[in-house]
Each structure stands twice: as C-alpha cells, then as structure tokens.
Amino acid sequence: MHHYSNVYFCKKNFFEISSKLMEDISEVLKKNLPKIRDQKEGETTPEYLNHINAQVNKVHEDLIKLSPFYKISKILKTSKPLSLNDIKEIFNEVKKHRSA
C-alpha cells in the first residue's frame, strides 16, 4: 500500500481497466476468429497441417496489426536506412501513444 491514496487509486484503476480490456479483447477474439475446419476426407496430414498453419498465421498477423506500435515496428523493419519522414512518423506515433 502506498502512502498517497491517489497513487493507490491510480494503480487500482489501472489493474481494473487492464482486466476489463483483456476481457473485451478475449470476447472480440472468440467472436471473430475463424473456425479451423476438420480434416477433409482424402486430405493428407501435411496438407491439413499447412491449412492450419495458414489460418493461424493469418489470425496472428491480423492481431499484430491491432497493436498501437505496429506502425512503428513496420517502419523500423522495412526502411533501412530510415528517412527523415520515417523518423518523423515514428516520433508522431510515440507522441500519439504517450498522450492516449
């Protein structure tokens, strides 16, 4: 317990908000994730595993795009060397997320 009641309140609020956010994200995922179909008759195990892999990779890529830092990550991974415009965009993204 902190000596300042507002610090405790902020920390408590943070955990309540984080918990609620995780519940909300979990519900959205449950509703929107594609169902992985059963193995088709005549489909080989490697073919079926490739299908599963493709589905999982697509969902994973879509989830990563939801990250507030996806744009920054994409710039850093694809632009070498960084242009002044890239650097400006990274700084703007950081500023946007700091003020959120």
Q: How many domains does the chain have?
A: 1
In this structure, is residue 15 part of a structural domain? no
Rounded CA separation 25/20 (Å)? 9
State the average pLDDT over residues 33-55. 94
Beta-carbon contacts of 68 under 8 Å, excluding residues fewer than 6 positions away, are: 93, 97, 100
Q: What is the pTM of this model?
A: 0.52
In this structure, is residue 74 part of a structural domain? yes
Structure token pair of residue 45: 């195990």
Confirm if 48 and 39 have CB atoms less than 8 A apart. yes
Query: For 13-22, what is each residue's pLDDT tens digit?
Result: 556 666 766 7
State the average pLDDT over residues 64-93. 87
In this structure, is residue 88 part of a structural domain? yes
Confirm if 69 and 95 have CB atoms less than 8 A apart. no
Q: What is the pLDDT of residue 18?
A: 64
Q: What is the DSSP letter of 19?
A: H
Q: What is the pLDDT of residue 96?
A: 84
In this structure, is residue 62 part of a structural domain? no
